Chains A and B, each alone.
Chain A
Amino acid sequence: MDALMLARVQFALTAGSHFLFVALTLGLATLVAFMQTRATVSGGAVSGGVVHARMVRFWGQLYVINYAVGIVTGLVMEFQFGVNWGGMSAVTGEVFGAPLAMETIAAFFVESTFLGLWIFGWDRLNRWVHLGLIWVVAVTAYLSAYFILVANGWLQRPVGFVLEDGRARLTDLGALLTNPTAVLAFWHVVFGGLLTAGVFVAAVSAYHLRRRTGEVEFFRRSMRVGLVALIVGAVVVPTPGGMQFAYVQPTKQGASEKGLAEQARFVAEFGPGDYLAPGGAKVGEVLMLVAWQLLMLVALAALVKVWSGRWLVRGRVFHVVLMLSVPLPYVAMLSGWVFREVGRQPWMVYGVLTTRDALSKVGPGWMAVSFTVFTVLMVVLLVVNVWLLARFARRGPEAVQLGAAPPVRPVEPVLTPSY
């Protein structure tokens, strides 16, 4: 593989694994925030809200396990912008960098700091303050997704800049922030995340109800939360997704009439070459639609069942269907993303900078070393965390460690003789 392909595959693997975890993080943070609101309003663990408080801790811990991988893969991704794609920061760094700066300072900083307070301040903070923390975490998570999609939307449809001496200068921040390819993608991801979390929560609940693990009320309530999210997500997600087709690049659709016209324009402007999207984009589009259609069928069944608690507890076939549905949102997410990103090739910034020109001048040897090291690291990270998620999901609410009173074991006495 040449350096370009190595760098592209490395980015695809990192961003792909990042996206898998972020999708669940976004949706699950929202569901946990709603659960904690319910728990807090009904008096917390002290009075009536025992089951709700337990739900917050159980789903909250799965969220936290998931979040940690999101952060770490995000770091590796940010690092790759600088190392592997130096040509991009040289030509378009200023415009592309602005939303990234906003994401880190206006969103991620607050999100991460408040999440730390939420995790470790469980018994120390007033319960209304503690509730406020998770809402701040959820809102800043969405803000973070928005800024990232502003950066990505600009790669799809560059606006608000001028090229001067081969460098892009930011001229219109408003155009950048209201770019339809960013705003529509944001709403698409919001409901995609909700759908992912809905399927996840419903499927884990289905597992426990089917196995009759004894936590019937806990998982009946959880299943209902999951199914509502699943239905809302599945029904709304295609709207902002489909609206994006109005802004899709002509070359993304392959050799259509418009695509060929665009191809001719690029050849005239940038020299000979193949400017039509590779076939992988079409595969992504089809897979995404198939996965969504299957999810729509699940959502229809859910719409029938969600009203009756008895049906939720007993429908054993439905339980199996839900458990089998867990991969579907991920398939839809990843293939939709392949459609979007592979469909932009051979451009890094559409019509401005090709992916080849965006590559760093780092030697291919170093590129291979970095590829190997980070791929191994990502795989270990993914395997360990998926295993942990499954383990804690399976063990149920009794095994939760988050927000639990610290285990009573002989902690070292504060004063010990020093001889």
Chain B
Amino acid sequence: MEMLAMAMLAVFTAGYLVLAGADIGVGMVLPVLGRGQGERRLVIAGIAPFFLGNEVWLVSAVGIVAGAFPGLEHRLLEGLFPVAGALVVAWVVRDMGLWLRGRVDARVWRAVWDGAVVAGSWGLALAWSSLLGTLLADAAGAGGSGFNVGSVAGLPLVVLFVLHGAGFARWRLSGEPLRRARRVPARYGVTAVVLVAVTVVAGLGVEWSRVQASPAGLAVTAVMTVVLLPLLLAAQGLVWWTFRGRVTAPTYL
């Protein structure tokens, strides 16, 4: 049963990094892809229908941690408190930017919230790089319950997010922003595989037996997740199918 719960946590964490990693990456390079405010709005339209359905993978991963591996919360959140805090702040700032930028038609308003999207995306990517770096170093034997060498050494992982975002932009954008995205030698499939691999290896650094819930508690979360996973995948599939193709016009955001 603990294998099942671990597999589910891996699916949701990797799912988040692959799916949301793309819209985070696009947010990071927003000023590069879109030069004027009109172009930037188009770039945002490329990720707009996806970001809500992407970030829920992380919320669910945290839910699995709460239900099946309550001890892990302590290791990740209490031990790495500043990084976890920065991650949440960046997430909030970025979401605010996305939701608010289109609401008022004024140059300064848009510029401020575009700035929030870019800063929040970088903050998220850096926090994730540090977090993954710490866990990778754990897996390599660094150990400990707080920061280690990987917390800093992992920071260059942000490049992965940039490349992944550029790869996604190649699918979704059109016109000038697309031309700029094509200058980056990025492939969505390649960076997706790397992100999954990083997640799995990072997971090897956790002492699972010490953080897991009792068999009954573990089973409740694991079984429910397995049963619902096909439904959640179908919902995600519906999003991709509905918003396939390139964007040529702005959306609500």
Q: Which residues does A use to contact B, with CB under 8 Å? A: 64-65, 68, 71-72, 75-76, 78-79, 81-83, 86, 89-90, 93-98, 100-106, 108-110, 112-117, 119-121, 124-125, 169-171, 173, 360-362, 366, 369-370, 373-374, 377, 381, 384, 388, 392, 401-403, 406-407, 409-416, 418
Whether B100 lies near A384 (C-beta < 8 A) is yes
B197 at the binding interface (Cβ < 8 Å): no
Whether B64 lies near A90 (C-beta < 8 A) is no
Q: Would you give the shortest CB distance from A32 to chain B, in whole angstroms? A: 15
| Residue in B closest to A403 when the chains form the complex, CB atoms | B252
- Number of chain B residues whose Cβ lies closer than 8 Å to a Cβ of chain A: 70
Q: Would you give the shortest CB distance from A80 to chain B, in whole angstroms? A: 9
| CA–CA, A140 and B123, complex, Å | 31
| CA–CA, A171 and B103, complex, Å | 49
Q: Would you give the shortest CB distance from B106 to chain A, in whole angstroms? A: 12
Q: Kindly list chain A residues whose C-beta atoms are within 8 Å of the C-beta of B18.
A: none
B7 at the binding interface (Cβ < 8 Å): no
Q: Kindly list chain A residues whose C-beta atoms are within 8 Å of the C-beta of B89.
A: 373-374, 377
Q: Would you give the shortest CB distance from B52 to chain A, in whole angstroms? A: 4
| CA–CA, A77 and B65, complex, Å | 15
B42 at the binding interface (Cβ < 8 Å): yes
Whether B56 lies near A90 (C-beta < 8 A) is no
Q: Would you give the shortest CB distance from A124 to chain B, in whole angstroms? A: 6
Whether A401 lies near B252 (C-beta < 8 A) is yes
Give the secondary structure class of B's interface: helix
Whether B84 lies near A72 (C-beta < 8 A) is no
Q: Kindly list chain B residues whose C-beta atoms are within 8 Å of the C-beta of A125.
A: 242
| CA–CA, A369 and B220, complex, Å | 36
Within 8 A of A (CB), among B182-226: 213-214, 216-217, 220-221, 224-225
Q: Kindly list chain B residues whose C-beta atoms are within 8 Å of the C-beta of A384.
A: 96, 100
Whether A120 lies near B251 (C-beta < 8 A) is yes
| CA–CA, A406 and B247, complex, Å | 12
Whether A90 lies near B71 (C-beta < 8 A) is yes
| Residue in B closest to A388 when the chains form the complex, CB atoms | B103
Residue of B73, B96, B175 near A416 (CB, 8 A) is B175
Interface bits B151-190 vs A (CB < 8 Å: 1, else 0)? 0000000000000000000000011110100000000000
| Residue in A closest to B99 when the chains form the complex, CB atoms | A68
> With A72-B92, A406-B250 in contact, is A113–B53 under 8 Å at CB?
yes
Whether B92 lies near A377 (C-beta < 8 A) is yes
Q: Which of B24-32, B74-82, B134-142 lies on the face that meets chain A?
A: B74-82
> With A169-B217, A173-B220 in contact, is A124–B242 under 8 Å at CB?
yes
15 further contact pairs, Cβ within 8 A, besides A106-B228, A120-B252: A72-B92, A82-B62, A83-B77, A89-B71, A90-B74, A93-B70, A93-B213, A97-B66, A105-B228, A113-B232, A117-B239, A173-B220, A381-B92, A388-B103, A414-B174
> With A72-B92, A109-B232, A170-B214 in contact, is A412–B252 under 8 Å at CB?
no
Nearest first, the 5 closest Cβ-Cβ pairs linking A and B are A93-B70, A101-B67, A104-B63, A82-B77, A97-B66
> With A83-B85, A103-B63, A169-B214 in contact, is A412–B77 under 8 Å at CB?
no
In the complex, 19 of the A-B residue pairs with CB atoms within 8 angstroms, ordered by the A residue number, are A64-B252, A71-B95, A82-B73, A83-B78, A93-B213, A94-B67, A94-B213, A97-B213, A101-B66, A101-B220, A104-B60, A109-B60, A110-B235, A119-B49, A120-B251, A169-B217, A403-B252, A412-B176, A414-B175
B91 at the binding interface (Cβ < 8 Å): yes
Whether A105 lies near B60 (C-beta < 8 A) is yes
Interface centre among B71, B217, B231, B235 (most CB of A within 10 A): B217
| CA–CA, A64 and B53, complex, Å | 15
Q: Kindly list chain B residues whose C-beta atoms are within 8 Å of the C-beta of A105.
A: 60, 63-64, 224-225, 228, 232
Q: Kindly list chain A residues whose C-beta atoms are within 8 Å of the C-beta of B76.
A: 82
| CA–CA, A171 and B176, complex, Å | 60
Residue of A95, A173, A416 near B176 (CB, 8 A) is A416
Q: Kindly list chain A residues whose C-beta atoms are within 8 Å of the C-beta of B174.
A: 414
| Residue in A closest to B235 when the chains form the complex, CB atoms | A113
| CA–CA, A105 and B238, complex, Å | 17
B1 at the binding interface (Cβ < 8 Å): no
| CA–CA, A299 and B51, complex, Å | 40
Residue of B59, B85, B224 near A102 (CB, 8 A) is B224
B132 at the binding interface (Cβ < 8 Å): no
Q: Kindly list chain B residues whose C-beta atoms are within 8 Å of the C-beta of A102.
A: 63, 67, 221, 224
Q: Would you give the shortest CB distance from A353 to chain B, in whole angstroms? A: 13
Residue of B85, B100, B216, B249 near A169 (CB, 8 A) is B216
Residue of A96, A120, A410, A415 near B243 (CB, 8 A) is A120
| CA–CA, A76 and B84, complex, Å | 11
Whether A121 lies near B224 (C-beta < 8 A) is no
| CA–CA, A362 and B82, complex, Å | 11
Residue of A90, A94, A373 near B85 (CB, 8 A) is A373
| CA–CA, A221 and B55, complex, Å | 37
> With A110-B231, A384-B100 in contact, is A89–B216 under 8 Å at CB?
no
Q: Kindly list chain A residues whose C-beta atoms are within 8 Å of the C-beta of B51.
A: 116
Q: Kindly list chain B residues whose C-beta atoms are within 8 Å of the C-beta of A86.
A: 73-74, 77-78
Q: Would you give the shortest CB distance from A4 to chain B, in whole angstroms? A: 16
Q: Kindly list chain B residues whose C-beta atoms are within 8 Å of the C-beta of A72.
A: 92, 95-96
| Residue in B closest to A116 when the chains form the complex, CB atoms | B52
